Structure 1
Amino acid sequence: MCNLYKARSSAEEIARLFGAHPDPAAQIAVEKDYVAPGKPGYVVREQDNQRILSAMSWGFPFQGRPVTNVRNYSSPFWKSALTNPSRRCLVPVTEFQEWSVEPMPDTGKKKPFWFRVPSQPIFAFAGIWRPTEGVPVYSFLTCGYEGDPAAHAVGAIHPKACPVILHPEDYDRWLHADVDDALSLACAYPSQLMAIGNG
């Protein structure tokens, strides 16, 4: 489960890359270059047939805690947002973190691994969002692996799930398609297009 990621780029650069306009109704600012649960991050959504760059809080609230990753697509908790294209969004990312499942033999502690897409300095997770009485919130999809998780770059570290990274040519499809077509994009990004670093 991804609970930390980075967006090391300015709002202006993210807006330019995604062809988005700043959200005039944004109520919070993204002050750090990393995002943790319950903290603000950028999302790109559509409104009135144009892309808008908004700042929202990461995680749908549930029992006092932010739920950051969408895993069960059929759950009523997520379904209303998934089935409504206007509630889908792109989550700009430069790197994301997964912890090793087992502690390292030399330290006895789990090790953080950082994943990026070298061909895309800023890539996007498939996200959903919803308005709240305060600041709007967002989360992003995760998925399993085809075949042996250990054969995938992320699965070798975190075998349960991987964030859904979209190819740029699929951004519009995620934002506009019917739910079945949109969810067909929920698959593990090709390992050969990813790199692992120390953050």
Structure 2
Amino acid sequence: MCNLYSNTLPPEMMRQLFKVDASRDQLGNAEPLPAIFPKRLAPIVVMDGDGERAIWNAHWGFVMPQVSKKTGEPIQPKAVNNARDDKLRTSSFWRTSFQERRCLIPATSFCEAKGRKPATYIWFGVTGEDERPPFAFAGVWRGFSGNYGGDKRELVTSSMVTTTPNELVADTHPDRMPAILHPDDYETWLAGQPKDAFELIRPYPAEKMVIHQSGEGLRADQGGL
């Protein structure tokens, strides 16, 4: 699973990389995001109601209503920020979003922790000419309307698809890794048939990935710079 990633791309570069017209960019003068945790807002690339690519800010984590086991009364909802690939087509929680509302999640690195007290924080990325080459995770999105954090809220929420890890990531997280998409597959993920989109979910080649930073003393919110 992934609970921390970075996106230090300026909006203009995101528009260029993901072929989004400036009129469909809702970010404004957004600041770089070196540490994105669950429940934070972060950019996603979607197909909007007109069938055009757009960049929206989304709450990271699908909102799952919960009730108290003791009283049966509603309590603070849970934010589910990872969607397992083996659940996308079978779980009612994910199925419709996978079929109808897929998105790209722009990133420049992601972090996994290994061990405890102290943990080793390892920041992964992809190979390329830049210091931190940009890439995109496979994601899904949906709207939420209801009580959240004590307030009535209207949100766009996103979740990151995870799959089995490649050899590089498995040493740190042997069970899951985020599904990274090749740029040639962005259109199919956003607008293709679900069966074709599902075939794109696979471990990103280990030889095309790098470890940007790793260390026991590395704070989790510093490695994404």
Q: Given the two structures, how large is their TM-score scaled by the length of structure 1?
A: 0.86
Query: Which of 193, 197, 200 is residue 178 of structure 1 equivalent to?
Result: 193
Q: Is residue 24–residue 54 contact of structure 2 (8 Å, CA) maintained in 1? A: no
CA 131–27 in structure 1, closer or farther in 2 if over 3 Å, else same: farther
1:70 aligns with 2:79: no
Per-residue Cα deviation, 1:114-171 (whole angstroms, up to 9, x for no partner): 00112271100001111222120011100114xxx6xx11111101101000000000
Query: Which of 49, 54, 67 is residue 56 of structure 2 equivalent to?
Result: 54
Q: Which residue matches 1:42? A: 43
CA 24–171 in structure 1, closer or farther in 2 if over 3 Å, else same: closer
Q: 1:29 Cα shift?
A: 8.1
Q: Which residue matches 2:98? A: 82
Tell me which stretches of 4 or more aligned residues in structure 1 moved more than 4 Å: 22-32
Secondary structure of 2:197's match?
helix
Q: 1:49 Cα shift?
A: 2.9
Supply the RMSD in Å over aligned alpha carbons.
2.1
The aligned amino acid for 2:45 is V
Q: Is residue 28–residue 56 contact of structure 1 (8 Å, CA) maintained in 2? A: no
Q: How many corresponding residue pairs?
A: 187
The separation in 2 between residues aligned to 1:6 and 1:44, in whole angstroms, is 15
Q: 1:50 Cα shift?
A: 1.8
Q: Which residue matches 1:164? A: 179
Q: Is residue 62–residue 79 contact of structure 2 (8 Å, CA) maintained in 1? A: yes
Q: Is residue 27–residue 43 contact of structure 2 (8 Å, CA) maintained in 1? A: no
The aligned amino acid for 2:103 is C
The separation in 1 between residues aligned to 2:78 and 2:21, in whole angstroms, is 30
Q: Is residue 22–residue 54 contact of structure 1 (8 Å, CA) maintained in 2? A: no
The separation in 2 between residues aligned to 1:83 and 1:194, in whole angstroms, is 29
Q: Is residue 11–residue 28 contact of structure 2 (8 Å, CA) maintained in 1? A: no
The separation in 1 between residues aligned to 2:15 and 2:183, in whole angstroms, is 14
Q: Is residue 27–residue 55 contact of structure 2 (8 Å, CA) maintained in 1? A: no
Query: Which of 97, 113, 119 is residue 110 of structure 1 equivalent to?
Result: 119
Q: Is residue 104–residue 136 contact of structure 2 (8 Å, CA) maintained in 1? A: yes
Q: Which residue matches 1:4? A: 4
Query: Which of 123, 147, 160 is residue 140 of structure 1 equivalent to?
Result: 160
Q: 1:80 Cα shift?
A: 0.7
Q: Is residue 28–residue 135 contact of structure 1 (8 Å, CA) maintained in 2? A: no
The aligned amino acid for 1:76 is S
Query: Matched residues, percent identical?
Result: 34
Task: Considering fraction of residues, name the structure with more strand.
Answer: 2
Structure 2 unaligned spans of 5+: 67-76, 146-153, 214-222
Secondary structure of 2:155's match?
coil
